[in-house]
């Protein structure tokens, strides 16, 4: 069996996922950088990790596809004989008011954000149960707790991620596996980069700490939840949101 812990991060080619991959590699894990389309960005994350003395591997997989996730997770287990950490970070938005929301947009958001989380857990949990050890962290959002006008599909997917997290946490706890969610507020990435300056200013007014967070703020929380010292924490939703959800 491979000596280092093995950590899978979905959607690790950019934004929060990139910061998660750097954090987990920095903590000594062999880090599997999953991406869907952004191969060059994923390669650059790998280069960054290797340049700072870490180990990383790229793996293309569309997490919304069940069979592809089966192949993805089984290949990792076949190559390294273990899977210690799974972070379900891949996510998309298709934001429209409910009257303009097309069925395919709603379905696609649910398919990546919620079903994608189910897909990888389905196969990762099997290996972690055999090991009697594992850490799963799912990326939710504060809008999955409070809702947000114009984001019904996204909020529904993230509320679903929270329900999935708590249920799976109960199922896997007897095997020593922890399952938690992290709920970011507004974080500076390409996802929020599409907001106009005016919208960004209005959002900032609603954040008690008065500013957007950085991907590294989320990575620090995930680093903690996946570490050995967090072994007694499961089924929780940790908000990293500058106080928005208070
Ligand atoms: P981002 O910059 O848009 O990056 C999204 C990542 O997800 C990319 O690496 C992308 O990879 C990957 N991805 C998308 N569809 C995929 C698929 N079908 N299969 C595999 N990977 C896929 O987003 P972000 O802001 O970093 O957000 C990361 C996570 O945090 C998401 O779950 C998001 O909902 C959540 N979040 C973000 C914020 C925020 O303010 N930014 C707030 C709350 C929650 P490719 O480019 O290769 O497709």
The pLDDT tens digits of the residues spanning 100-138 come to 999 999 999 999 999 999 999 999 999 999 999 999 999
Confirm if 32 and 5 have CB atoms less than 8 A apart: no
Whether the predicted pLDDT of 21 surpasses 90: yes
Q: What is the pLDDT of residue 128?
A: 98
Q: What is the pLDDT of residue 1?
A: 78
Ligand 1 center from residue 123 Cα (angstroms): 21
Q: Is 184 in the pocket of ligand 1 (CB under 6 A)?
A: yes
Is residue 154 flagged as an active site residue? yes
The sheet carrying 177-184 orders its strands as 56-60, 30-35, 6-9, 85-88, 134-139, 177-184, 237-240
Residue ID of nearest Cα to ligand 1 atom 21:
11
Q: What is the pLDDT of residues 185-243, one digit of tens each?
A: 999 999 999 999 999 999 999 999 999 999 999 999 999 999 999 999 999 999 999 99
Report the atom number in ligand 1 closest to the C-alpha of 212: 40
Per-residue pLDDT, averaged over 77-103, amounts to 98
Average pLDDT, the chain: 97
Kindly state the tokens that stand for 242: 């500058």
Report the atom number in ligand 1 closest to the C-alpha of 12: 9
The one catalytic residue among 71, 80, 96, 154:
154
Ligand 1 center from residue 1 Cα (angstroms): 31
Q: What is the pLDDT of residue 99?
A: 98
Ligand 1 center from residue 213 Cα (angstroms): 15
Q: What is the pLDDT of residue 217?
A: 98
Whether the predicted pLDDT of 2 surpasses 90: no
């Amino acid at each position: 069996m491979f000596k280092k812990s093995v950590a899978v991060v979905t959607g690790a080619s950019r934004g929060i996922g990139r910061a998660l991959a750097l954090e987990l590699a920095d903590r000594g894990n062999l880090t599997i950088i999953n991406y869907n389309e952004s191969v060059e960005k994923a390669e650059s994350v790998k280069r960054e990790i290797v340049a700072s003395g870490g180990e990383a591997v790229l793996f293309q997989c569309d997490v919304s596809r069940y069979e592809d996730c089966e192949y993805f997770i089984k290949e990792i287990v076949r190559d390294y004989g273990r899977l210690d950490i799974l972070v379900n970070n891949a996510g998309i938005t298709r934001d429209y008011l409910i009257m303009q929301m097309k069925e395919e947009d709603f379905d696609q958001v649910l398919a990546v954000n919620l079903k994608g989380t189910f897909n990888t857990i389905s196969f990762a949990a099997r290996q972690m149960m055999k090991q009697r050890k594992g850490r799963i962290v799912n990326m939710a959002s504060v809008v999955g707790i409070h809702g947000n006008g114009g984001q019904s599909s996204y909020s529904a997917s993230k509320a679903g991620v929270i329900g999935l997290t708590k249920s799976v946490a109960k199922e896997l706890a007897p095997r020593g596996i922890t399952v938690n969610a992290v709920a970011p507020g507004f974080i500076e990435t390409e996802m929020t980069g599409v907001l106009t300056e005016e919208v960004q200013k209005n959002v900032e007014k609603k954040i008690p700490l008065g500013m957007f967070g950085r991907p590294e703020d989320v990575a620090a929380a995930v680093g903690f939840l996946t570490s050995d010292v967090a072994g007694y924490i499961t089924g929780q939703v940790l908000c990293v949101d500058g106080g928005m959800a208070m």
